[in-house]
Amino acid sequence: MLIENEFTVTAPTGFLWDYLLDVERIAPCMPGAELTEVVDERTWKGRLNAKFGPVTMSFAGTVVMESRDDAAHRVVLKARGMEQKGKGAAEATVTSWLEPGPGDGETTVKMQAEIVLTGTAAQLSRGLLPEISKKLTQQFADCLQQQMQAERAVAAAPASAEEGVTPAPAPEAAPTPAPVPAAKPVSGIRLGLSAIWALIRRALRRLFGRSG
Q: Is the pLDDT of residue 64 over 50?
A: yes
User: Which domains are delineated in the chain?
Assistant: 2-147+183-211 (3.30.530.20)
Position 201 confidence tier, pLDDT thresholds 50, 70, 90: low
Q: Is the pLDDT of residue 94 over 70?
A: yes
Please give the pLDDT value at position 98.
97
| CA angle, residues 88, 94, 42, in degrees to nearest 5 | 95
| Whole-number Å distance between alpha carbons of 63 and 66 | 9
Q: Is 57 exposed, middle or buried (0-12, 13-18, 19+ CB in 10 A)?
A: buried
Q: How many helices (H) and strands (E) does the chain have?
A: 5, 8
The residues that bridge with 97 in the sheet, in sequence order, are: 74, 110
Q: Is the pLDDT of residue 193 over 80?
A: no
One-letter amino acid at 52 equals F
Please give the pLDDT value at position 31.
83
Please give the pLDDT value at position 53.
56
Concatenated DSSP letters for 159-170?
A: HHHHTT--PPP-
The residues that bridge with 100 in the sheet, in sequence order, are: 107
